[in-house]
Structure 1
Amino acid sequence: MGKIKRKDSLSDFKAITRSSALECLSLHISKLIETAKNKEEVALELKRFEELYHRFLVLQDSKIDWRKIQPPEQGLVHNHESLDDPPLERATEMLNKLVVVKLNGGLGTTMGCTGPKSAIEVREEMTFLDLTVQQVKWLNYTYNCNVPLVLMNSFNTHEETERIIGKYKGALVQILTFNQARYPRIDKETLLPCASDYEEDDSEWYPPGHGDIYFALKYSGLLDSFLKEDKEYIFISNIDNLGATVDLKILNYLANSDCEFLMEVTNKTMADVKGGTLISYEGHSQLLELAQVPKNHVDEFKSIKKFRIFNTNNLWLKLKAIKRVLAKDDFDLDIIVNEKRVKGNQKIIQLETAVGASIKYFNTAKGINVPRSRFLPVKTTSDLLLVKSNLYSLKHGGLLMNPERPFPEVPLIKLGEEHFKNVQHFLQRIPNIPNIIELDHLTVTGDVTFGFDVVLKGTVIIVANHGERIDIPSGAILENKVITGNLRILDH
């Protein structure tokens, strides 16, 4: 009986603590609103943050029940190859009802760059944004249609993106922008916002993940505007995914079925073990992210045997369905608690949501198992080496696999963070991308540089020990080799 009393007492204590935290938060937010220039708009935005924070406190102790997780139900995921191409006249009709949205809120800081990630040069002196505009421009020209390109920016990328898109005027592409929300970071110790002024110190604020796109579309006025223009479909993807082009087969399936939500998934490899996956949970389709997995089940989640597919974050939805879902009071996306350390080693929390987590709110949601070619993200310089290489050719802003590649899988590339994380250092160390047509696996760590016209085949591992340097000479052909700090070359 005593144990029960102690348990009840602990529950009461937590309830009191959370109640106090919410009260303090309300006061803090009121003060933040007073510091804002546009008080009405900021009040609406911070109200959404307060609701997210409230759910975070209430759900702190609730964990996903691992025993209830099941593979996707039969029929939930369709193969891309089973879908039909539409006739030309039907393609133009559907494209005129399509809106293409690119998630453009990220900075290039993880690759040592400043400004929007979309401004990083990828191939032939063209940036992610250049390639995206080229894709939509080709689409409009080829099919005589009017597909707008819409960029969801963050407060970090908005100003620079607005400056850049000026150069695309007259490019057969209507480019629109809107901003996602701006939420205050939370001090992990006090559970209170770090920010004290809405207009100052951007470092105390963060964009709350791409799940914010639904409310951002609504409050920007674009959702209603598109519906008035008789737009019916929306394709959402990350701007750094060079494989995320408009696919007429998927659009045709969306338009001619009762599906309201399609998520592109693809087969998981060892390079994708952290990607979110589709599951069945308590009778509903759901997206499971790594951050939601109990620590003792992380290895199981990463297994490519149990969870064989992952979310590419290429999503297709019907606009009327989005409007209907947003009108309900129960549209609460799963919270992703992102813990970080910032200036002075301060521990902070960012409450975020994922766009794909909305799958459970739509009628007849499906997954489409697409070829790996539709998932070509560039998160690191290892990815950058891949998309810059002769493994791909550029066509209408999209990347096509070189037909000389003997197998469809892309090589696994791992470049050491200390010497290759920064794009500038990467380009200095690899001024000429090696021929990797026959490469399976490349690992490079330490102080390593590459000459011109290097050919890599099979598995190549190059490790320069601390204080040593390895220079791969121009014209070198490395096939199934291990090169160590003392320059010994061994058969692998």
Structure 2
Amino acid sequence: MAAVAVAAASLSPEAEKLSKLQEKVADLDQISENEKVGFISLVTRYLSGEAQEIEWSKIQTPTEEVVVPYDSLRPPPEDIESTKQLLDKLVVLKLNGGLGTTMGCTGPKSVIEVRDGLTFLDLIVVQIESLNAKYGCNVPLVLMNSFNTHDDTLKIVEKYSNSNIAIHTFNQSQYPRLVVEDFVPLPSKVQIGKDGWYPPGHGDVFPSLANSGKLDFFLSQGKEYVFVANSDNLGAIVDIKILSHLIHNQNEYCMEVTPKTLADVKGGTLISYEGRVQLLEIAQVPDEHVNEFKSIEKFKIFNTNNLWINLKAIKRLVEGDALKMEIIPNPKEVDGVKILQLETAAGAAIRFFDNAIGVNVPRSRFLPVKATSDLLLVQSDLYTLADGFLVRNKARTNPANPAIDLGPEFKKVSSFLSRFKSIPSIIDLDSLKVVGDVSFGANVVLEGKVVVTADPGEKLLIPDGATLEG
């Protein structure tokens, strides 16, 4: 007994924290053994101080062999049968764990109406149905939900039961939030339902896909690649050219990157580092180099989070416990209690895969809807809808989209919709800034650089048919 006491007394503070945490986590009956193991592994790595220090002098700009220009990809087959054979090797996986709370909506963000009464999910289903119909292939759609979106999503997908598409769902892990003060799981201290838990970032897609049984299922069907993308990125459509290139060159992992603008300076970028391609995030950048990282001169591309990954490689790396992505600490507060969430990102996994590449894709493949300002763009005459795809209006000569800055009065989707009789024409718009209690009539045209300001306490209505220029 004395020896045990001595051993316990000699534990480091980190080891004591971990030992206490393991006891508490073992008692949590809301999560599976796999989730408990995954969580403890993540916390162990965090407490060990394990962090991959980036030596700035070793960073190299990737060559065109590592980040391949989209136009130089090998052309896809032209005949339908060869294209069918390619597409039959593909699974489409959409990250569907997010709620629409930032836009004032309840439920999964993917069920916000985007255009013509269709939601993100409707558009995704129509796109894949069109592919399956055109080529006679069987591309399935997989939704990775979180515990926040799972129940609602299961009800929603019922409406697609007669579609020409197999829809699968699985849940990403559910981890307990950590109380900063004493490093115990929040659900062990307070019974607060869902607020005690969090989904640990989209880097969790790899173990969760395996733990769900879906990975083995798709491998047994002869599937070879999964295309992973955010459900709110309307530009993330299946690209046969990229798929063909990856299969031909046996690339285990491909990240789509696109040229950086001043709006994207915080986005992660691809670098060559010690002979491998790697994602560099702003959080990894030493303070003295942050401005250099944000420059669009040296780091010209950023990660769209459109990822193409070989399924056999995922299985090999998950089973070998080899995916040790950088940990992203995310501090928050719940009912006045300081808590910590430890997360990982799927893009950071690129350095663990063999023959990994980036593809420098056109900006059209990155069209996320994060706020109502983005909703204005995709609902406008800048785009038309065909087979679930948003097609850019050729009348727009400027390759960049207008910069839209709507005030807080427009933040919620319901408020946004109530302030437009119809979405203005913005074909020739450079930028729009709206301040105050402003509403727009029907058939308004915006051109050049437009600023609309309502004085405090006043309502301003832009009349039907008005043209605002400069």
TM class by smaller structure = over 0.9
Tell me the distance in 2 between the aligned counterparts of 1:262 and 1:62.
22
Question: Which residue number in structure 2 is paired with residue 474 of structure 1?
Answer: 464
For the residue of structure 2 that corresponds to 1:390, the secondary structure is: coil
Q: Which amino acid aligns with 2:397?
A: P
Instruction: Map 1:7-156 onto structure 2 (within 5 A).
Output: 16-32=12-28, 35-36=29-30, 42-59=32-49, 63-83=53-73, 84-88=75-79, 89-156=81-148
Question: Which residue number in structure 2 is paired with residue 336 of structure 1?
Answer: 328
Select which of 352, 358, 375 maps to 2:366. Answer: 375
Quickly say closer, same or farther: Cα 1:298–1:195, change in 2 above 3 A: farther
Shift of 1:336: 1.1
Is the counterpart of residue 432 in structure 1 residue 422 in structure 2? yes
Is the counterpart of residue 445 in structure 1 residue 441 in structure 2? no
For the residue of structure 1 that corresponds to 2:42, the secondary structure is: helix
Shift of 1:378: 0.4
Q: Which amino acid aligns with 1:399?
A: L
RMSD (Å) for aligned C-alpha atoms = 2.0
Is the counterpart of residue 404 in structure 1 residue 395 in structure 2? yes
Quickly say closer, same or farther: Cα 1:195–1:135, change in 2 above 3 A: same
Shift of 1:294: 3.8
Shift of 1:44: 1.8
Is the counterpart of residue 179 in structure 1 residue 174 in structure 2? no
Are the counterparts in 1 of residues 52 and 326 from structure 2 also a CA contact under 8 Å? Answer: no
Tell me the distance in 2 between the aligned counterparts of 1:409 and 1:195.
47
Q: Which amino acid aligns with 1:400?
A: V
Q: Which amino acid aligns with 2:416?
A: F
Shift of 1:398: 1.0
Q: Which amino acid aligns with 2:233?
A: N
Select which of 338, 341, 359 maps to 1:350. Answer: 341
Is the counterpart of residue 312 in structure 1 residue 304 in structure 2? yes
Is the counterpart of residue 277 in structure 1 residue 261 in structure 2? no
Shift of 1:291: 3.2
1:176-202: CA deviations, max 9, x gaps? 001100011122333332122899610
For the residue of structure 1 that corresponds to 2:351, the secondary structure is: helix
1:94-113: CA deviations, max 9, x gaps? 11111111110100011110
Shift of 1:62: 6.5
Question: Which residue number in structure 2 is paired with residue 189 of structure 1?
Answer: 181
For the residue of structure 2 that corresponds to 1:225, the secondary structure is: helix
Quickly say closer, same or farther: Cα 1:398–1:306, change in 2 above 3 A: same
Question: Which residue number in structure 2 is paired with residue 384 of structure 1?
Answer: 375
1:140-161: CA deviations, max 9, x gaps? 0000111111110100001000
- Greater mean deviation of Cα atoms: 267-276 or 294-303: 294-303
Tell me the distance in 1 between the aligned counterparts of 2:290 and 2:48.
24
Shift of 1:282: 3.2
Are the counterparts in 1 of residues 229 and 236 from structure 2 also a CA contact under 8 Å? Answer: yes
- Greater mean deviation of Cα atoms: 453-462 or 391-400: 453-462
Are the counterparts in 2 of residues 271 and 412 from structure 1 also a CA contact under 8 Å? Answer: no
Q: Where in structure 1 are there 5+ consecutive unaligned residues?
A: 1-14, 481-492
- Greater mean deviation of Cα atoms: 146-155 or 431-440: 431-440
Is the counterpart of residue 360 in structure 1 residue 351 in structure 2? yes
Tell me the distance in 2 between the aligned counterparts of 1:444 and 1:292.
35
Select which of 286, 292, 296 maps to 1:300. Answer: 292
Are the counterparts in 1 of residues 34 and 211 from structure 2 also a CA contact under 8 Å? Answer: no
Quickly say closer, same or farther: Cα 1:221–1:200, change in 2 above 3 A: farther
1:214-264: CA deviations, max 9, x gaps? 101101111111111111111111111111111010011011112111111
Residue correspondences, number:
460
Are the counterparts in 2 of residues 292 and 336 from structure 1 also a CA contact under 8 Å? Answer: no
Q: Which amino acid aligns with 2:140?
A: P
Tell me the distance in 2 between the aligned counterparts of 1:188 and 1:283.
38
Q: Where in structure 2 are there 5+ consecutive unaligned residues?
A: 1-10
Tell me the distance in 2 between the aligned counterparts of 1:475 and 1:311.
40
Are the counterparts in 2 of residues 291 and 337 from structure 1 also a CA contact under 8 Å? Answer: no
- Greater mean deviation of Cα atoms: 65-74 or 450-459: 65-74
For the residue of structure 2 that corresponds to 1:357, the secondary structure is: helix
Is the counterpart of residue 248 in structure 1 residue 244 in structure 2? no
TM-score by length of 1: 0.89
Tell me the distance in 1 between the aligned counterparts of 2:51 and 2:348.
20
Question: Which residue number in structure 2 is paired with residue 257 of structure 1?
Answer: 249
Shift of 1:71: 2.3
Quickly say closer, same or farther: Cα 1:67–1:421, change in 2 above 3 A: farther
For the residue of structure 1 that corresponds to 2:186, the secondary structure is: coil
TM-score by length of 2: 0.93
Tell me the distance in 1 between the aligned counterparts of 2:84 and 2:22.
50
Q: Which amino acid aligns with 2:412?
A: N
Q: Which amino acid aligns with 1:21?
A: K
Tell me the distance in 2 between the aligned counterparts of 1:61 and 1:231.
34
Q: Which amino acid aligns with 2:317?
A: V
Shift of 1:337: 1.3
Question: Which residue number in structure 2 is paired with residue 321 of structure 1?
Answer: 313
1:444-484: CA deviations, max 9, x gaps? 2222211111111111122334333332222121121xxxx
Question: Which residue number in structure 2 is paired with residue 485 of structure 1?
Answer: none
Select which of 155, 160, 171 maps to 2:152. Answer: 160
Tell me the distance in 1 between the aligned counterparts of 2:13 and 2:52.
17
